[in-house]
Structure 1
Amino acid sequence: MKTTAVLLTLVATTLVAAGKFHDLPHSEYNRVVNGGYIVEYQEGFHHQDTHNTLRTRKVDYMVRKEYGIFNGAAIYVNSEHDGKALADMPGIKNVWPITLVSIPKTIKQKVEPSSLKMPLVHSMTGVDTVHKIYKLTGKGIKVGVIDSGVDYKHPAFALEGALEGCMGPNCRFQYGWDFVGDAYDGTSSPEPDSDPMDCEGHGTHVTGIIGANALDITKGSEPPYPFIGVAPEATFGAYRVFGCKGSSAVDVIMAAMEKAFNDGMDIINMSLGGGSAYKSTPQTVLGDKLVERGVVLVVAAGNDGAEGVWMVSDASLGDLSSSVASVDSSHVVYRTFTYGGATHPYAPSLAWNKPIELPASATLMPVLGKNGSLSDGCDLGTYNGVNIADKIVLVLGDVTRCKSGERGAIAQAAGAAGMLIMTTPLGIASLGGTPDFPMASIENRAGQALLKAYKANPDNTFTWSKKPSVVSIEGGGAPSSFSSFGLDGELRSKPDISAPGGNIMSTFPLSMGGYSVQSGTSMASPYVAGAHALYMQTKKIKLRGDEIRKTFKNTATLSKNYGSSSLTSVAKQGGGLINVLRAITTTSSITPDHIDLLDTNRFQTTVMITLRNDGPNAETYTLSHIPADTLNSYPDNNTFPLPTPQIEDNYATVSFSQNEITIPAGNAAAITISFTEPTTGDAAHFPIYSGFIIATPKSKESVPVHVPYSGLKGDFSRVPIMDTDKGFPALVSLNVSNGAIEKPEGSVATFDANNTVPIVVTRFGSHTPSFSVRVLDDSNKFLGYMVSLQGTKLIRDSGRNPNFDQEGLVAFSQWSWSGMIVPTANATEATRLPPGTYSIVVACQRKFTQGDYPADFEVYDIGKIKN
C-alpha cells in the first residue's frame, strides 16, 4: 500500500477527552481496509496535535489523507493499535474503519438507433417547460460529479460549434482530478493525476443526465435517439474515485468531496454508497459540514428495494444532504412484436443482442407446471411430453431457482426456436441469456395477454417489428422496484425526494458505444443535481442545500405504485417526484420539510409547522391530509423484514389548529397539527404509516405545498434485531484441514487451535446501537469482549444485513475467534484467555434505549467453548 510518511514533532497537550469508535459488521457492504482508519479530531485539535499524540502513545502509522473541513485524517496503523485504541487517545472525537465502496450496480439495457424523438423524462418533472419557457439551462452553476470519471471528449459535452468535448478553461469541464488511476480497485495503490477520463462508464452516464446535449449531434457518436440533460449549460468538475473496475475507499471519496468544495462547486453529486447503517459515517459527517458552508450535496438512496425496509444507502443519511429515490421513466424506445392482435415491447437478451426475426411458423408454446400455472423453465423435465420444436416458449421470470442463461440452454436443448420471459412482478428485465438463442424479456402484462390469446387460438402467429418505437412502459411513472426503502435506524424520514431513475438514456464512454439506457438511483441522483442547477440559476442567490431540498420536497408530485389508487409510502418515495416547474414558481413553503412521528412510545402527538407566503399578495390556504400506504414487514411475527413489505390501509388521523388561514404577503404563520396513530394495524407487526400534510392556496395560479410525515405503530425498541427464525446468532467452527464449516455437537464445543477455529455468525434484521460478543467464564462471570481473528473488537453499532449475498445465498456476518478478549469497551490492549471453558453471549442493544445491560438488550447465549 502506497502511503506518505509524516515527520512528527513533540508538543505537549493536555486534552483528555475520549472519542467514539464506530466499527462496522462484516458484510458485502462493509469491506474494510485492514489497519486503515478515518480519525476525526475534537474542536481545537489539529493535525500536528494528533501526530504528537500518536507518537506519544507509540502508534506506528502512516498518513493516507489529511482533511481540512472534516478536521481529521485517514491513517494506516502498522502497530497493534486498533480503532478503539485510537478513539481513546486525547483529542480524538470519532474513529471509523476505512470502508470500501463498490461502483453501484445499475440495470443496463441496450437500445437500437432510432430517428424517433423520445418523449423526454423531463415531461414528468416540468423540466421540459423550464427549458422552453424559462430558458433555464444551469448556465453559471458548477456541478461536481464524484464518480468513475467522465469521457469529457464526448460530443454531447461539446460547446456550440465544437465537434467534441474537452477539459480546460473554455470547456464544459473546467475542473477535475483523478484520485486513483485506471488500475485502482480499492485495495491497490492509487496513482493520481489530473486526467479523470472514465474507463468504467458509470460516471459518464451520471454526468450526461445532469448536463449532456445530444439533441442536434450529427458528427461523432450519434445517439440512439435525441435527448438532453437537465442542465445542458452547467459547468462541470469531474472527480474520479473509481478505477476501471472494483471499489473505492471512503478516505479517497472524502478527499474528492473536499476538493470539489475547494474548487468552488455549487453542487456535488454522489451516485454511490449502499447498505444499511446509522447516519454517523465519515462521509455523512463531512457532507453535512459542506452543506453548512453552502454546498448542495445530492446522494443516491440505493438500489436495495428488493431487500425491504431499513435499507437506505448509508452515504445518503446526512441531515442536510438530499437522499434521492428512483421513479421509472414513463416512455422507452423498444422493438415490438404483435400477437393475437396486440402489440408488446420486448428487450432481447444481452447474449442475443439484436432484433428477433423469427418466421411466422415459430408460434407460441406456454410452459406450464403441473398446477397449470406458468413455469419458470428451470427443469428439463418440464418439457417431457411437450413438443416445443420450432416453438417460442413462454416462461415466468422468477430467478429464485435459475437465471436466464440456464433456462435458455434448457429450452434450446429441447428444440425451442426462442424464449420469451415474462417479468415478475412488472416491467422489462435485463437478461443475460444464452448465446445463439433468441431470448427476450417482456412485461408481466404482455405475458398475461399472450396466455389469454394463446388459449383463445393456439395458432396465432407473431409479427416482429422492423423498427423500434416509443412505448409506454409497464410501471412507468411509478416508484422503481429497485429503489431502497427507509426509514433509517432512528426512524428519520429517508429518502428525501424522488426523480426519474428507471430506463434513463444518457452518455457512455465513446469506446463503449457512446450511449446506453440504465436504471438505478445512480440515475435519479444526478437528475436532482441538475434540477438544483436550474433552481439556483433562476434564484440568482446562494442558498444552502437543505433550503433548496425543502422547496423541492414541498412542491414534488405525489406518486402511486403501479396500478394502485393510494399514494406510495413516504419510506419509498420521500416527498414525491421532483417537479422543477412547481419549485421555481412557488411562492409558498412549509418548514420543516419532513415530520418524524417516531413510534408509539415516543409518539409526537402535536407538531408545529411554519407556513410562509412569499407572494405579492395575501394568500388564503386550506389545510388537508392525504394518507399513504402503510408498510407491514413483520406480518407473521417474523424476525427478519419481508423483502417486499405488505401494503395496508392503516392510516393516522390528523387535525389542524385551523383548517384555513390567511397569511399576508411576505409573512409566515405557525400551525399546530395533532396526530393520532392508526386505530387499525397490529402494533406487534411494527407497521410504518405515513402521509402528507397539504397547504392549498385559494389563488388558482399558486402552487400547493406539502410536507411528508411518517411513524411506526408499536415499540421500535422491540423490532427484532437478530434473525432467530433462521437460527442466528450461532456458534460454528471452521475445520482447518478441509475448510468445512461445522456446527459443534453437544453443549460444549471443543476447539483445537491447530485444527478448528470457532466462528460467531449473526444476521441483523434491523439496526442496533450496540452489538457485542461477550465472553464469560464457567461461573458466568463476565471476562470481556471478543476480539476477532482480524483484530476487530466486537462491540459497535450496526445496520441490517441484506437478504441475500451476491451469490444468491442468505447473507450474514461472521467473526473468527483466536481466544483474544478486551476486558472493557475502552480497553486498548487485548489479552489471550488461558485454556478453559467459556460461554459466548451475543448482545444487541434495542433501539431507543439507554443501553442498560441486560434489560435493554436482545441477549443470546450461543454456546460454550473449551479450548
Structure 2
Amino acid sequence: MARFLVALGALCAAAAGASAFAHADGASSTLGAAAQVVPNSFILEVDASAATLAKRGLTPFAALSRTLAAVEHSGYSHTVRERFESIPDVFHGASIQVADGVSIEDLQKIEGVKRVWPIRKYQLPRDPVDSISDYTFQPVASSLVARSKITISASGQVSKKRASTLPPASAYRGSTFYPHVQTNINLLHNAGYLGQGVKIAVFDGGLDYTNPILGGCFGEGCHISFGYDFVGDDYDGDNSPTPSDDPFATCTTHGTHITGIIGALANEYGVVGAAPMATLGHYRVAGCNDFSADDIIVAAMLRALAEDVDVINISLGTPVGFLNNSVTQIVAEYLASRGVHVVASAGNDRTEGLFFSNAPAAGFSSTGVGATDVVNLPAYNALVAGRDPIPYTSPTPFALPGQYTLYFTSTSQTPANDACTALPSSTPDLTNRVVVVRRGGCDFTVKQKNVGAAGGRVVLIANTQGSLTIPQLNVGTSGLTAVASIRYEDGVKLLEYYNASPNGQILTFPSGPLVPNVRETVSGGTIAYYSNFGPTNDLYLYPSLVAPGTDIVSTVPGGLGIMRGTSQSAPLLAGAYALILAARRSENLTPTQLRGIFQNSAKFVPNAVGSSALETVMLQGAGEIDVNRAFAARTLFSPSAIQLNDTANYRQPQILTLENRNPYAVTYTFSASYAQNIVTYNDGASNQIIPSTVPDESNYKVVRTTFSPRELTIPAGATGTVSIRMVAPGFSPADVDRFPLFSGFVNVRGQSVINKRFQTFNVPYFGLGARMVDMPVLDTTDVALGPRLPFIAVGEDILAESAIVIARNDPAVVYFRLAAGTRRLSVDYVSASLDYDSTIPSVTNPTARMSKLAKRATPALYADVPTVGALFRPDYFPPRDNLVRGPFGYSDYELPLNGTFTENGQTTTLPNGESYRVLIRALKITADPTLSSSYESWLSPPFSFSG
C-alpha cells in the first residue's frame, strides 16, 4: 500500500468542523459540506395529499401520528423534537431523533413517509474581520441612557418589562446616517415613511433589548414587542433546546447588531434603524455558540406565520447549492405564497468561489442579499487646533476631556513593523499624547499593547495605502483609554502637521454625532471582499441583490459596535422592504413583486472605485438597492431577472412582460449594458477540477441583443411584452473549459406620455458559456488532503490495486470530496468482480500508477448495477464541499469501512474471505439520473475483511 502523504493528525484537524454520524460499531464518519448534521436526527415529511388521506381514511393530524407510530413499530425507537402540523397542504411532518444505525433509507420505506432529510446545522455567518483579538465593544455613553428616558432599577439594570418612550417620527428627518444615504433610505425617512404597521421578525441568536437604543424593554408596549427563545444559551445544534418566552441574550453580539440595523431608535450618535417604527420582534434560533438547525428554523418560520409577521430576516445559513434542497427553503417558499417576505444573508464565503449558495437565501421567492462596502465611513471628528479636523472610525466618539499633543512612533511615510516591538526608552511621556501608529507587520493588539506599556492612553492606527478599512479596534487588555483607526490620507496629513511642528499639534475629542461624507476611497461602493458568489447549481440568480454590509454601526450588548458581513446587509434590506410595504400598502405587493421592484430599480455596482466596468452579476445580483427609486417604481417586470441557462439549454427568445401601474401611459425604450465575464476554473476544468477560490474576471463579452419592439407604449394599468433575443458570446474551447459566466443588464427607460418625466430600470441577465453536465463533480486532485482523491486508507496507508485484508478492529476509511453539487450520491459495497468501467481510476496515488483492470461492461441503467449494501445514500442533493473557509471549515467525506451496513434497521456483517470493492457514483448536474453514463464514478481496489 502507498503511504498517506499527509499526517493523519493534520487531516483530522482539517476536518474537525464536520459533524459525525455514529455507526453500529461505534465508528464515526464525516460526511461533507451538506452533512453538517445533528447526529441520528431526521425530518420526516408525511404524505398528506388529499388522495392519500382519502384512501387511508385519515386526517392530516392522524396521518402524522400513525406514521410516527409506524416508525416505532418498525423497531426504530425515537423521540420527537418538533411537530410541523400547521400547513398540512404544503408541509406536514416532524423532526425525530433515533438510535445509532438508523438510516435515511430505513425511514423512507415506512408507510406514510413521503421524504426524509437529515437535520442540518446552520451557523450565523462569522464576522469577516482582519486579524484582531480582544474584540470587545466599547460601552455606550451614560448620556444615552438618560436621553432615552428608560427606567433604571436600584441595581442599575434596565427594566425588561417597562414600556419605553419612543422618539417621534420627526426625530428621523434630516438623518445623514451613511448606509441610509448610500441607499436613499433617508429620503423615505424625510417623507415620514418609517415602516409603520409592518411586522418584522429577526431570526438570530438573541438580543440585548435593555440597550436604550432598542427601547430598553421587551413585550407589549416596548419597541421589541414580541419574540420567543427556541433554544436557550446552551444549545449547540446537537443537544436538546431549552425554549423560553424571553429572547434576551448577551453572550453574542450578532442578534443585537442585526436588530439595531432594522430598528435602532433615534439617538445622539445619529445611528438609526432602517424601519424604526415597524413592529419589531426577535426569534432566538441559535445558542451562544451561534448554531441552529433545520427544525428550529422551520418551527420559528411557522410561528412567524401564525403571528402574522410580514418580513423575516435570517442572517444564518448552510450550503445547499440547489433550490428547494432543504426544508427551510421549502417552507420559505410556502411563506412567500402567504405573503411573508423572507430576506436572508447570502454568506461571507466569497473565497469558496462560484456556485456556493446557502439556504434559505437561495430560493425562488426568498431574497438572498450580498454586501457592498460603504461609500462613507462611520467617523467622528478629532479637532486639530488651527487646522482641518481629522475623522476617526469608532462606534462612539472618544468624548475625552482636555487637550492632547500629537506623537508619531515613526516619522517615516512607510515604516515597517511600526510599534510591533516595545517602544524605545527615548519615547517621551505619552500620557497626554495622541499616539499615531501605522498599520502592518503585526496584529493591531500587539501595537496597542506596546503603546500601552509605554504609558500611552490614546491611539490612532493609520491605514496603509490601498488597504481595506481597518475593523473596529477595542482597547481590550492593552491599558489604553481609547483606540480608533484613521484613513491612509488622514495619517499622511497628520504626519505633515507633526513634521512641521512636533510639539505644536493640539487635538481634542468632543462628543457629537457621526460626521457625514467621510469617503471610503479604496473600495467604497464596490462588492465586499467576503460576499458570496452565485449562481445556484440550477443556474438561478444568486444573490438577488446587494446592500451596504461593511463597517456598519449598530447596537450591541451594552452599546454600539461596528461589524461587517452579509448579516449586516440583509437586515438593511429587510428594513427597506418594510418601508415600501408601509408606503405602498394598498398594492398588497407579493414577495416576488417586491423583490422584483427592488431588483429592477437597483443601482449598478462597478468592479472598482471610479471604474465604468460593471461587476459580474454573479456578485452583485441585480445591483445595490436604491430605496427611493423602488418607492417611485410603478412598472413591474416579469421576470425580474433573466436566466439564460447553459449552452445545452439556452433559452431564446426571452419574453419580458411589463405591467404599467402608473396612472398614465408610459413609453418604454430598450437597450443593453454588459458586465464583466467571470470564469469558474482559472486553468480549465480539465486541469483544475475544483472551482477557483479567486476566479478570474475579464472584460465583458458582448451579448448581441435585439428587441422586438424596440419601443413600446403601455396604457395606464395595462401590460405589454417585448421579445428579447440574446446571442451568447463566442468562446474558444479553452474558454469553455473554464466555465465562463457572462452577464449584464437590459436597460429600460420609461417616459410618461403626459409630462415627459422618466425613470430608468434594469433587468439583470446571465448565462453560462458551457454545459453544466460537464462540470466535474468528484474531486480527483491532491489539493485538499495531499494524496489524490478518492482513496481508501488504513491509518496512513492507501490501498493499492492488489487485494488486501482489512481487520475489522482497525477499519479502513473511504476518503472523497465533492468538487460540485450533485442531485444523487451513492456509496455502496459491491462485489469485487463487478463489471463496471468507472470514470476515475481505482488507484491514483502510488508513485508508479498501476494500470486499470481490463475494461468492464457497465450496465446501461443506474438501477441495474448490483450492489451488496449501501454505505451512504443521502436523499438530499449534496452541495460541493468547503475548501477554504466555509461556515463549518474544511469538509470532506470519510466513511468507515468495517464490513457492516444497516438497512431496514438491521445491521449486516459481510462475511470474511469474500472480496469486495467500494463504488462511488455522483450524478453530473442536469444529467439523466436513470443512466449509468450520467455519473462520475470511482471503483476502489479489492479488499476483504477479517476478525
Q: CA deviation at 1:621?
A: 0.8
User: Partner of 2:892 in structure 1?
Assistant: 812
Structure 2 counterpart of 1:122, one-letter code: H
Q: CA deviation at 1:207?
A: 1.3
Aligned mates of 2:502, 2:794 — CA distance in 1: 58
1:687 equivalent among 726, 735, 740: 740
Structure 1 442/716 Cα, relative in aligned 2: closer, same or farther at 3 Å? farther
Aligned mates of 2:175, 2:506 — CA distance in 1: 22
Provide the secondary structure at the position in 1 that maps to 2:657. strand
Q: CA deviation at 1:771?
A: 2.1
Aligned mates of 1:107, 1:348 — CA distance in 2: 18
> TM-score, normalising length from structure 2?
0.75
Q: CA deviation at 1:206?
A: 1.1
Contact 2:830–2:869 (8 Å) recurs in 1: no
1:42 equivalent among 43, 47, 54: 47
User: Partner of 1:779 in structure 2?
Assistant: 833
Structure 1 669/814 Cα, relative in aligned 2: closer, same or farther at 3 Å? same
Moved more, 461-470 or 488-497: 461-470
2:236 equivalent among 178, 185, 210: 185
Q: CA deviation at 1:323?
A: 1.0
User: Partner of 1:752 in structure 2?
Assistant: 807
Aligned mates of 2:728, 2:39 — CA distance in 1: 47
Q: 1:133-181, CA deviations, whole angstroms, 9 ceiling, x for partnerless residues? A: 2x111111111111122323332233xxxxx33312x223332111122
Contact 1:156–1:165 (8 Å) recurs in 2: no
Q: CA deviation at 1:333?
A: 2.8
Q: Does 1:235 align with 2:279?
A: yes
How many residue pairs match? The answer is 794
Provide the secondary structure at the position in 2 that maps to 1:63. strand
User: Partner of 1:4 in structure 2?
Assistant: none
Q: CA deviation at 1:667?
A: 0.8
Contact 2:108–2:115 (8 Å) recurs in 1: yes
Contact 1:767–1:798 (8 Å) recurs in 2: yes
RMSD: 4.2
Structure 1 465/622 Cα, relative in aligned 2: closer, same or farther at 3 Å? farther
Structure 1 142/555 Cα, relative in aligned 2: closer, same or farther at 3 Å? same
Aligned mates of 1:854, 1:460 — CA distance in 2: 79
If asked which structure has higher relative contact order (CA below 8 Å, sep 6+), I would say 2
Structure 2 counterpart of 1:694, one-letter code: N
Moved more, 532-541 or 485-494: 532-541
Aligned mates of 2:381, 2:779 — CA distance in 1: 45
2:763 equivalent among 681, 695, 707: 707
Q: CA deviation at 1:573?
A: 1.4
Q: 1:714-769, CA deviations, whole angstroms, 9 ceiling, x for partnerless residues? A: 1111122233232552324354xxxxx44456744543222x33222223222111
2:412 equivalent among 364, 376, 382: 364
Q: Does 1:557 align with 2:600?
A: no
Q: CA deviation at 1:228?
A: 1.3
Q: Does 1:157 align with 2:209?
A: no
Q: Does 1:592 align with 2:639?
A: yes
Q: Does 1:498 align with 2:498?
A: no
Q: Does 1:93 align with 2:114?
A: yes
User: Partner of 1:524 in structure 2?
Assistant: 569
Provide the secondary structure at the position in 1 that maps to 2:662. coil
Aligned mates of 1:630, 1:523 — CA distance in 2: 27
Moved more, 306-315 or 795-804: 795-804
1:120 equivalent among 175, 178, 184: 178
User: Partner of 2:331 in structure 1?
Assistant: 286
Q: 1:639-666, CA deviations, whole angstroms, 9 ceiling, x for partnerless residues? A: 1112222112223221111111111111
1:428 equivalent among 470, 475, 497: 470
Aligned mates of 1:201, 1:668 — CA distance in 2: 47
Q: 1:264-316, CA deviations, whole angstroms, 9 ceiling, x for partnerless residues? A: 11111111113243222000111111111121111111111222111122221
Structure 1 counterpart of 2:539, one-letter code: L
**Structure 1 unaligned residues grouped into runs of 5+:** 1-23, 159-163, 217-224, 369-374, 736-740
Aligned mates of 1:603, 1:39 — CA distance in 2: 37
User: Partner of 2:665 in structure 1?
Assistant: 618
Structure 1 403/276 Cα, relative in aligned 2: closer, same or farther at 3 Å? farther
**Structure 2 unaligned residues grouped into runs of 5+:** 1-28, 50-59, 130-134, 144-173, 428-434, 836-864
Q: Does 1:329 align with 2:374?
A: yes
Structure number with bigger Rg: 2
Percent pairwise identity: 28
Moved more, 486-495 or 79-88: 79-88
2:921 equivalent among 838, 843, 847: 843
2:350 equivalent among 291, 305, 309: 305
Contact 1:404–1:433 (8 Å) recurs in 2: no
Q: CA deviation at 1:226?
A: 1.6
Structure 2 counterpart of 1:428, one-letter code: I
Q: Does 1:32 align with 2:15?
A: no
User: Partner of 1:371 in structure 2?
Assistant: none
Contact 2:545–2:621 (8 Å) recurs in 1: yes
User: Partner of 1:718 in structure 2?
Assistant: 774
Moved more, 356-365 or 560-569: 356-365
User: Partner of 2:839 in structure 1?
Assistant: none
Q: 1:413-461, CA deviations, whole angstroms, 9 ceiling, x for partnerless residues? A: 9xx99986749863334679996499999799769x979x99xx99998
Structure 2 counterpart of 1:362, one-letter code: S
Aligned mates of 1:206, 1:311 — CA distance in 2: 23
User: Partner of 2:594 in structure 1?
Assistant: 548
User: Partner of 2:81 in structure 1?
Assistant: 64
Contact 1:325–1:498 (8 Å) recurs in 2: yes
Q: CA deviation at 1:600?
A: 0.7
User: Partner of 1:573 in structure 2?
Assistant: 620
User: Partner of 1:244 in structure 2?
Assistant: 288
Q: How does 1:137-152 map to 2 (within 5 A)?
A: 137-152=194-209
Structure 2 counterpart of 1:132, one-letter code: N
1:697 equivalent among 732, 745, 750: 750
Provide the secondary structure at the position in 2 that maps to 1:859. strand
Contact 2:828–2:870 (8 Å) recurs in 1: no
Contact 1:309–1:487 (8 Å) recurs in 2: yes
Contact 1:281–1:314 (8 Å) recurs in 2: yes
> TM-score, normalising length from structure 1?
0.81
Aligned mates of 2:546, 2:766 — CA distance in 1: 16
Q: 1:693-727, CA deviations, whole angstroms, 9 ceiling, x for partnerless residues? A: 12101245332222211111011111222332325
Q: CA deviation at 1:86?
A: 1.4
Contact 2:200–2:278 (8 Å) recurs in 1: yes
Structure 1 counterpart of 2:600, one-letter code: N
Contact 2:230–2:285 (8 Å) recurs in 1: yes
Aligned mates of 2:381, 2:761 — CA distance in 1: 41
Provide the secondary structure at the position in 2 that maps to 1:502. coil
Aligned mates of 1:305, 1:367 — CA distance in 2: 31
Contact 1:204–1:507 (8 Å) recurs in 2: yes
Structure 2 counterpart of 1:210, one-letter code: I
Q: CA deviation at 1:131?
A: 1.0
Provide the secondary structure at the position in 1 that maps to 2:578. helix
Aligned mates of 1:783, 1:465 — CA distance in 2: 80
Q: 1:822-844, CA deviations, whole angstroms, 9 ceiling, x for partnerless residues? A: 7xxx9775532223443333322
Aligned mates of 2:880, 2:446 — CA distance in 1: 32
User: Partner of 1:198 in structure 2?
Assistant: 249
Contact 1:276–1:310 (8 Å) recurs in 2: no
Aligned mates of 1:291, 1:405 — CA distance in 2: 46
User: Partner of 1:738 in structure 2?
Assistant: none
Provide the secondary structure at the position in 2 that maps to 1:105. coil
Provide the secondary structure at the position in 1 that maps to 2:811. strand
2:360 equivalent among 301, 307, 315: 315
Contact 2:354–2:533 (8 Å) recurs in 1: yes
Q: CA deviation at 1:485?
A: 0.7
Moved more, 100-109 or 800-809: 800-809
Q: CA deviation at 1:476?
A: 1.8
Q: Does 1:211 align with 2:252?
A: no
User: Partner of 1:730 in structure 2?
Assistant: 790
Q: CA deviation at 1:603?
A: 0.8
